[in-house]
Every structure is written in structure tokens, then in C-alpha cells.
Amino acid sequence: MTTKQPEIMVALSGGVDSATTAWLLKRQGYVIAGMFMKNWEEEDVDSGCSAEQDAADARRVCEQLGIAFHGRNFSAEYWEGVFEHFLAELQAGRTPNPDVLCNREIKFKAFVEHARDLGAERIATGHYARRRDNADGSVSLLKGRDPAKDQSYFLHALSQEQLRRALFPLGELEKSEVRAMADQAALAVARKKDSTGICFIGERNYDRFIDHYLRAEPGLILTPDAEFIGRHKGLIHYTLGQRKGLNIGGRAGFDEAPWYVAAKDLAGNRLCAVQDSTHPLLMSRRLEAVQVNWISDKPPRVGSHLAAKVRYRQPDQACRVLAADHDHLVLAFEQPQRAVTPGQSVVLYDGDICLGGGVIASCDAPAPDWLQPLQPFDQAD
């Protein structure tokens, strides 16, 4: 095992992507070390979270590669910088995206600080994204080559300084190639299943997990015409466009089509549901975002025709910038967008270049007569 001070600290999750990242860098001759981040205290909730197994797998990979292994507990930072915000957003009726905040506050901030303490000025992660160094000294974030795995959406809140210190060795690869490389290297995690779910919740039951921290108040489910059709288990458990979990079943006077969450009435603790996945209440052409970050430090020009995603894995959606500064973004889409959800991120692209984005605050989707939007959208350009 090398004892040299590492040039690059690899963020090892215990999965195949980060393990292959370390293997690639070691093969290229870099002096590297691996660090496993523990972001959650499992005893807080009775669950089958696999952090202990993931840490063991990360250590095994380091032993295989002959590199130093470091373990760090970021649970306190995660609670203060990510989880408290997550809970506050749920209580406010929004649907937060903790993975974006985790990248900015933990993986590319707290992790970087610990890596530098150990001598590594740069870090590497298993994200499917690319970094480009520009002639003017700036850096750009680009989509990963594999469109099915591109994770630039989750990295849009990073700063120039954070990107300069980051390497993404998997950005030019497809997932199938990464699996093949892991097999070729006989890595201990080559056949390990990819993790799913929110980073701190993992495979555990989401509703039961949330109920451990927030009090859910059951209430009524109504149609847009204010007809009673069922009861919900607490607004914190629902998001716009959601189909599963409504448990409305057959209702007299309605067909057997599935129901979808169309609106949330926080003041009245009521849920509005519709039987059409593209019902007008679910569709919008414009949105407003706040807490905006521009990777180049410069907002796009008003009037620019670009592309945006309002959720991860969504195909690029053509849009026009109506307003943009360092705190605020307004977009108009060429085609109506389904279930634009306050609290989620909207991310803006110019081709493969990720320009940045922000947190969706509101959109111009209509509301049923009996409900007032949480944040009315200003219809003026």
C-alpha cells in the first residue's frame, strides 16, 4: 500500500461507480486515496440502511488497489446542512431535492476540506458528468456522455472553485463500459447492485421514515369541483403528479382511471386529485425559480433560447429566458410541462453545457376554484 501523500482523494461510496473511478485514476498513475463518507446515523430510525456494508466494501476496494482508506463521519454536517432544510421544505408543502444540496454542502465542501487536510488538493467522484477547462481559466460543467446516466442535473449548484477541484473520470463512459471495467479489474463490487432512493433514506420505507420526524395530519382528497373522493395520510407524503399511494379506489360517478395529485392546499390540509395525467391543473408553460446558481457566475441573456429540465432524467425541454439574475429566474417553455413542482430544481442547458439553475418557487399552472396557490405566479413578463 502506498504511503505517499495523495494527489487526489476519491469519494468512495461502496458502489461500482466510485470503485471504478479509483481504479481508473490508479491505472493512470495518480497517487490516490479513498474516503468513505458516513452521512447518516442509522440508529436514528429502525431501518435496513447499508452504510456499514458500504463502508466495508469501500475498504475492500482500497485494499485491492493498494491505496489508503479513510472514513469520515459527516452526519452532523448532513443534518444541519441538508436534512433540516429537507424537513422544513416538506412542512412548507414543497418537494425538496436533498441530493443537490448534499453535493454542494457535503461532497464538494466538507469532503473537500477533509481531503485537503490529508494533503489532496483535488477530489474525484463517480458522477456521470464532465468538466471542461476553458481558455479564459474558467471551468464548465458538461453532461455525461451516457444520456441515461447523466448526473449534471444534481451538480448544477456547484461553484467555479468547487468544480476546479473536481474530477469526473466516468464522464466519457457509458454505464455498461464501467461495469465491464470493474469486471476486468475484478473489483470486489463489480456485480454490486446500484443504490436507489434518496441518499439518506435508501431502500427503507419513505413514508414510515418521514413520519418519524414530522407529524402527518390526515385530511380530505377532493376533485377540482370540490367533490369528496377520499382521505389522504398527510400532505408531506405527496407530490404533484403522484399516482401511487392515493388509495381512492372505485368511486360512484367516476370511471376506473387512475388518480393523480394535482394540487396541495396547505392552509386547508386538502389534496386535489384528477383522473388525467395531463389534466390542465397539472400543466404549465412558465415557472419562476429562486436560490439560483450560475456555474460561470454569469446569468444567461434574457431572451435566450435554451433547454431546461424540471426533474432528473427528463429530456431537454426547449425554453426561453424571460428574466435571469443572481437570485431569480423565469422561463417560458415551448411545450406545456407536466407537474412542475415547487421545491424541485430547474436546470438550464446550452447544448451539453450545464449553465446552472435554481429551486422552483412557482409556475403558471391553474388551481381549482376552492384552492389558492401557495405562491401565486406573476403573469407579467
Looking at the annotation, which residues are catalytic? 102, 199
Are the beta carbons of 232 and 217 closer than 8 angstroms? no
SS (H, E, C) the chain: CCCCCCCEEEEECCCHHHHHHHHHHHHCCCCEEEEEEECCCHHHCCCCCCHHHHHHHHHHHHHHHCCEEEEEECHHHHHHHHHHHHHHHHHCCCCCCHHHHHHHHHHHHHHHHHHHHCCCCEEECCCCEEEEECCCCCEEEEECCCCCCCCHHHHCCCCHHHHHCEECCCCCCCHHHHHHHHHHCCCCCCCCCCCCCCCCCCCCCHHHHHHCCCCCCCEEEECCCCCEEEEECCHHHCCCCCCCCCCCCCCCCCCCCCCEEEEEECCCCEEEEECCCCCHHHEEEEEEEEEEEECCCCCCCCCCEEEEECCCCCCCEEEEEEEECCCEEEEEEEEEEECCCCCCEEEEEECCEEEEEEEEEEECCCCCCCCCCCCCCCCCC
DSSP-assigned beta bridge partners for residue 10:
34, 124
CA 219, CA 169: separation in Å to the nearest integer? 48
CA 94, CA 85: separation in Å to the nearest integer? 11
Residue 182: closest CA among 57, 52, 30, 32? 57
